[in-house]
């Protein structure tokens, strides 16, 4: 029997390899129960050099990781989200070729994208597979059903006026929002705005900043949240 799949979306200026390290505790928790599929964003914004401690769970010497983003925000008279279309195309391709996915795990910018994907899949389903939603769309037809859940950390909604229609209806997917009390990268109010975009959100607040906590409390919160969707978690510590 195939394990259910969860799509994993890293934060801005990171990569799939980095996100695997950031989520090592969750990977250990879910290893026997779900397949985590880590996706590299298509926008290359330079190189990121990690410390040896950051790469402690990898083999060999520290490596250089490609520094990627799902879009690049260019401010001016008109705010541009350069690369968002490329990211939606990549996600659409991944959903079709590697799906189905029962849910999405996203950090920071990846969490923002996770909510967008959940909303677009829901709206597409509700509108009988209509592709376009007021300027935000998958560039190809996507037959993937709506995801059952979204887990995000340090996430936020888009603030561009032309994209607000994506949040026009409450997102029905179950959601777990991890929020650090001392997050200085994403303001608490911004994360709360994303919380309010979901029909039945759950919030896990922790003493920390802009990261996914590697604590027993976090693992327990994720386990409780995922029990309705992932079999076997009742038997884990």
Q: Report all structural domains of the chain as residue ranges with CATH numbers, in order of start.
A: 5-230 (3.40.50.1820)
Q: Where are the beta strands (DSSP E) in 108-173?
A: 132-133, 136-137, 149-153
H/E run at residue 222? helix 216-226
pTM for this one?
A: 0.88
- Tens of pLDDT along the chain (237 residues)? 689 999 999 999 999 999 999 999 999 999 999 999 999 999 988 644 444 344 344 444 344 457 899 998 876 666 678 899 999 999 999 999 999 999 999 999 999 999 999 999 998 887 654 544 556 889 888 999 999 999 999 999 999 888 898 999 999 999 999 999 999 999 999 999 999 999 999 999 999 999 999 999 999 999 999 999 999 887 555
Instruction: Report residue 103 as tokens.
Output: 């849910």
- Determine contact, residues 34/25, Cβ cutoff 8 Å: no
Neighbouring-strand partners of residue 26: none
Cα 145 to Cα 52, 100, 102, 230, 234, distances in angstroms = 41, 8, 9, 17, 26
């Amino acid at each position: 029997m195939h394990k259910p799949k969860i799509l994993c979306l890293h934060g801005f200026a990171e990569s799939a390899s980095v996100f695997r390290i950031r989520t090592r505790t969750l990977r250990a928790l879910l290893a026997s129960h779900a397949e985590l599929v880590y996706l590299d964003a298509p926008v290359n914004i330079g190189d990121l050099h990690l410390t040896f401690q950051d790469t402690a769970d990898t083999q060999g010497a520290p490596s250089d990781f490609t520094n990627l983003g799902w879009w690049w925000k260019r401010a001016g008279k008109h705010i541009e989200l350069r690369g968002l279309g490329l990211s939606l195309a990549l996600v659409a391709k991944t959903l079709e070729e590697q799906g189905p996915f029962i849910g999405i795990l996203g950090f920071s910018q990846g969490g923002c994208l996770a909510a967008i994907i959940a909303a677009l899949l829901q709206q597409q389903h509700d509108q009988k597979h209509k592709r376009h939603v007021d300027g935000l769309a998958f560039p190809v037809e996507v037959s993937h059903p709506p995801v059952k859940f979204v887990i995000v950390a340090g996430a936020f909604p888009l603030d561009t006026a032309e994209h607000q229609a994506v949040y026009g209806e409450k997102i029905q997917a179950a959601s777990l929002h991890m929020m650090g009390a001392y997050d200085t990268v994403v303001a608490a109010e911004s994360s709360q705005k994303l919380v309010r975009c979901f029909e039945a959100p759950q919030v896990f607040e922790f003493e920390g900043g802009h990261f996914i906590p590697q604590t027993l409390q976090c693992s327990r919160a994720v386990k409780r949240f995922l029990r309705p969707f992932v079999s076997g978690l009742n038997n884990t510590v």
